[in-house]
Amino acid sequence: MEILWFLIALCMLAAVVGPFALRRRGGIRQVAPGSPDAADPDAYGFVRQEELDIRLPGPDQDLLDVLEVVQRSQDWRAALQLLAGTPKEGEVRWQRVQAFAGAASLELAGRPGAGGSWLRSWRAEAPKDAGGAAVHAEFLVQQAWRSSTAAADDFRIILEEARTVCGEAALLAPGDPVPYIVELAAARGLGYSHEEFDLLWAKIIDRAPAHLGAHLAALHFWCEKWHGSLKEAERFATTAAARAPRGSLLAALPLFAVYEHLPEVNLVRGFYESLTVRNAVEGALFAVHAARADDPMLAHVRHLLVMFLVRMERWSEAVHQLVHIDGHVGALPWTQSSDPAAEYAVYRALAVAGYEANGGNPATLPH
């Protein structure tokens, strides 16, 4: 055990406390790729830190190809075609809408006033396209939350505009749950009452009752910092998990509820041994094992499991999740950090260090 903590200390560099005192968001010190303090990703076939893709939680080559074309040419038509061919059912459409909006938002941040011009052209030249409207609405929501520290009036004005565009997108695609899911994110900032939330939630459930992305968006509404409490969030998550059909990743929702209510700094190692955390982790592991291998939300659950399994010292199980997700880090909890790739790389190094300290090696890598 002494060797294990020595390895962890190396991975954490100058951290004063162990992994169970890590800050929930952005508090892990970066371990430089290739440094002697980091587990060598090459030995396990893992992607080097500088090559990790921070845009997506998992592979979507069609989306990446279209994004490359759109951002290189500033021509939005390929994005329109991709979304038009993406079924309204399932989770992929929601993820792609988020990705296009995020790409435009990052472009605008990098080139204020000029970046993301392809989205403006898309909306101006194809105002009746449902996909463009949904991306525009999500873009406004992301812009609002990125600027949430600005004037309260500006924040609310952007979210009000997002709600209006959500309504336009919903009219253009009556069976599509995505505009309503996007509105859930706006509802957090606009202060929807429980009654307003219930009306919006009913529209989503009518269209996509097992949509994990929708449940994750709704979970924010119940978080203590918005309207609810931990008890209300847990009730919402456990009810959804209990009603989930076999093979649905909704069984992992309680783990996301626990994550949303983690304290900023947790100095109690025993917290990760508590019944609440253990049950949430076991539920998420069950969901992962029962889910389809091609479920587009599977990577989201695996990423969050890595964080919890590392903090619980369940090294082999953490490495098992890493085998499936390595290469992409565009998911919670990494995206809450200013440097998602660095955050992920440290947890990966901790998992491998613990795995090796307990007799594991690349040859015994779980698959």
The 3-state secondary structure of the chain reads CHHHHHHHHHHCCCCCCCHHHCECCCCCCCCCCCCCCCCCHHHHCCCCHHHCECCCCCCCHHHHHHHHHHHHHCCCHHHHHHHHCCCCCCCHHHHHHHHHHHHHHHHHHHCCCCCCHHHHHHHHHCCCCHHHHHHHHHHHHHHHHHCCCCCHHHHHHHHHHHHHHHHHHHHHCCCCCHHHHHHHHHHHHHCCCHHHHHHHHHHHHHHCCCCHHHHHHHHHHHCCCCCCCHHHHHHHHHHHHHHCCCCCHHHHHHHHHHHHCCCCECCCHHHHHCHHHHHHHHHHHHHHHHCCCCCCCHHHHHHHHHHHHHHCCCHHHHHHHHHHHCCECCCCCHHHCCCHHHHHHHHHHHHHHHHHHCCCCHHHCCC
Backbone phi, then psi, for 22, in 5-degree steps? -65, 145
Q: Which residue numbers in the chain have pLDDT < 50? A: 1-38, 225, 265
Residues 6+ apart with CB under 8 A from 39: 11, 348, 349, 352, 353, 356
CA atoms of 46 and 63, how far apart (whole Å): 23
Model pLDDT, residue 360: 84
Q: In angstroms, how far is the first alpha carbon of the chain from the final one?
A: 25
CA atoms of 208 and 280, how far apart (whole Å): 24
CA distances from 83 to 69, 111, 158, 259 (A): 14, 25, 24, 31
CB 44, CB 77: distance < 8 Å:
no
Model pLDDT, residue 222: 76
Pull the structure tokens for residue 364.
């015994």
Model pLDDT, residue 280: 94
CA atoms of 319 and 355, how far apart (whole Å): 7
CATH number of 61-208: 1.25.40
Tell me the Ramachandran region of residue 22: left when phi exceeds 0, alpha when psi lies from -120 to 50, beta otherwise: beta
Model pLDDT, residue 265: 45
CA distances from 253 to 249, 261, 337 (A): 8, 13, 21
Burial annotation 292-309 (CB, 10 A radius, 16+ → b, else e):
eeebbbbbbbbbbbbbbb
pLDDT 10s digits, 208-257:
999 999 999 998 877 654 555 667 788 889 999 988 888 899 999 999 99
Q: How many other CB atoms are there within 10 angstroms of residue 115's CB atom?
A: 18
CA atoms of 85 and 93, how far apart (whole Å): 9
pLDDT 10s digits, 198-207:
999 999 999 9
CB 184, CB 217: distance < 8 Å:
yes
pTM of the model: 0.84
CA atoms of 149 and 56, how far apart (whole Å): 26
Pull the structure tokens for residue 250.
């909704």
Pull the structure tokens for residue 212.
């994990």
